Amino acid sequence: MKKLESLIKNIKYELVQGSIDIDIEEVVNDSRKAAKGGLFICIKGTAVDGHKFAGDVAKAGCTAIVCEDDVDVPSDVTVVKVSDTRYAMALISAAFFDYPATKMKVIGITGTKGKTTTTYMVKSILEGAGHKVGLIGTIETIIGDKRIPSANTTPESYLIHKYFSEMVECGCDCCVMEVSSQGLMMHRTAGIDFSFGIFTNLEPDHIGPNEHASFEEYMNCKAMLFKQCEVGIFNCDDGHFKDISKDCTCKVETYGFSEGADYRASDMKLMTKPGVLGVSYKVSGKVNFDVDVDVPGKFSVYNSLTAIAICDHFNADTATMKKALLAAKTRGRIEIVKVSDDFTLMIDYAHNAMSLKSLLTSLREYEPKRLVCLFGCGGNRSKLRRYEMGEVSGEYADLTIITSDNPRFEEPLDIIADIKTGIEKTDGKFVEIPDRKDAIRYAIRNGKPGDVIVLAGKGHEDYQEIKGVKHHMDERELIADILAEEN
């Protein structure tokens, strides 16, 4: 329980009616969760405007409402008006949970690619160095032994502070989290003083009617993180580094292959072992040692280099870093599944043309006998993505197996037809197998010595959405079933 006055003390507001000297039992922005003694925050969403439910939450017993627009509620309900309810909710949530972010070192990672993998690498290293680490990201939130599947890369502000509070309670001394451009734009992380902010890279993505209006807006949202952190750690190889960092208010450190980077990678070599593809390189500058990572591609150098730069601030020693980087694995991110000593099979979340091209070009460098790419595309989404992914796979894979992803309310064969439109612009060979398990079975049965097979698009997901229903489907389980059938 908190006094309303203490919850809004850091916010500019107008008291429209009632008193702020009242007790608040709970903070909600979902009218269905409204209850006696609650504070309801009216959020304008893309589909629903919370202001419409002000009367309903008052009847349910909420004693206070925070709003942007006028609301019609009984005179015994306190009404506080602010300019931005999303921003207000972030600061109110922090106060409601007694500012848990101030009781930990909070590490925020933003960028187009690499956020998820890097968070797990950081967690692995810091735990090896004796820290207790919470994690918030695209796949899940981890608090001690508890794992909570994620709905958004960066949750709503109330949920973030609730998670922070639980992390503090269970003894976490730091938290590593993915900070999305949407999360920054919607003020989900407003008011958090990050100990470290990390910039991985920037490419055009998340631009559209329901996301960012332009690339400039997307970039400016990413840059917001570096006005609320103590130390900013930037990929100085990225072409947008100067734009992202130009107005930052934090101490600046850099990593990359560039001369002068504080954490510099050099002498990168590809590593190939039975069923495993990886990289090795030397890091120099603020630290100096050789690094091996059992994850393929140049982007694995960047991800691990980022983790090294962060964890150096926690005084993690060289041996701990080396051991943790070899052990760190991320579900659904270039996740190698042992099927045969003859060929390599991996699961990856690549679900747009940009990420698929990055993955396939990286794997090409290992000179596989054949590069086989299995993927589908989601229904009720942009057809352009289907054309582009088809064209990328046709250009960079030796064989494409077109199958189903999450068809949602579309027919799988219609989606496959769109993918074929893209792939037929190339000379790439392809087969169509609509059922995903049958497609994976075909890939495994026809795997040849030296092949690299990628199951793209599903990654960490353990379901397939068909006609509005999510059916359980985990590619790891499908692979195990197929191998059991073969034996």
Residue 36, both tokens = 């006696």
Pick the CATH number of 335-486 from 3.90.190.20, 3.90.1150.10, 3.40.190.10, 1.10.760.10: 3.90.190.20
What are the residues whose beta carbons fall under 8 Å from the beta carbon of 3, sequence distance 6 or more? 20, 21, 22, 23, 24
The number of CA neighbours under 13 Å toward the Cβ of 419 is 35
The pLDDT, as a whole number, for residue 386 is 95
Asked if residue 465 lies in contact with residue 357, where contact means CB atoms within 8 angstroms, the answer is no
Give the 3-state secondary structure of residue 275: coil
CA distances from 16 to 5, 13, 23, 263 (A): 14, 9, 18, 53
Tell the CATH topology of 2-96.
3.40.1390
**pTM recorded for the entire structure:** 0.90
Return d(Cα 98, Cα 85) in angstroms, integer. 20
Return d(Cα 206, Cα 195) in angstroms, integer. 27
What's CA 321's distance to the chain center, in Å? Answer: 23
Asked if residue 316 lies in contact with residue 129, where contact means CB atoms within 8 angstroms, the answer is yes
Residue 12, both tokens = 């500019």
131-162 burial code (b ≥16 CB/10 A, e <16): bebbbbbbbbbbbeeeeeebebbbbbbbbbbb
- Sorted by where each begins, the domain ranges of the chain are 2-96, 100-327, 335-486
What are the residues whose beta carbons fall under 8 Å from the beta carbon of 293, sequence distance 6 or more? 278, 279, 280, 300, 301, 304, 325, 326
Which pLDDT tens digits describe the chain residue by residue (487 residues)? Answer: 999 999 999 999 999 999 999 999 999 999 999 999 999 999 998 789 999 999 999 999 999 999 999 999 999 999 999 999 999 999 999 999 999 999 999 999 999 888 999 999 999 999 999 999 999 999 999 999 999 999 888 999 999 999 999 999 999 999 999 999 889 989 999 999 999 999 999 875 544 555 556 778 878 888 999 999 999 999 999 999 999 999 999 999 999 999 999 999 999 999 988 778 999 999 999 999 999 999 999 999 999 999 999 999 999 999 999 999 988 889 999 999 999 989 999 999 999 898 899 999 999 999 999 999 999 999 998 899 999 999 999 999 999 999 999 999 999 999 999 999 999 999 999 999 999 999 999 999 999 999 999 999 999 999 999 999 999 999 999 999 999 998 7
The class of domain 100-327 in CATH terms is alpha beta
Asked if residue 401 lies in contact with residue 374, where contact means CB atoms within 8 angstroms, the answer is yes
Give the 3-state secondary structure of residue 361: helix
Return d(Cα 43, Cα 87) in angstroms, integer. 10
The pLDDT, as a whole number, for residue 138 is 92
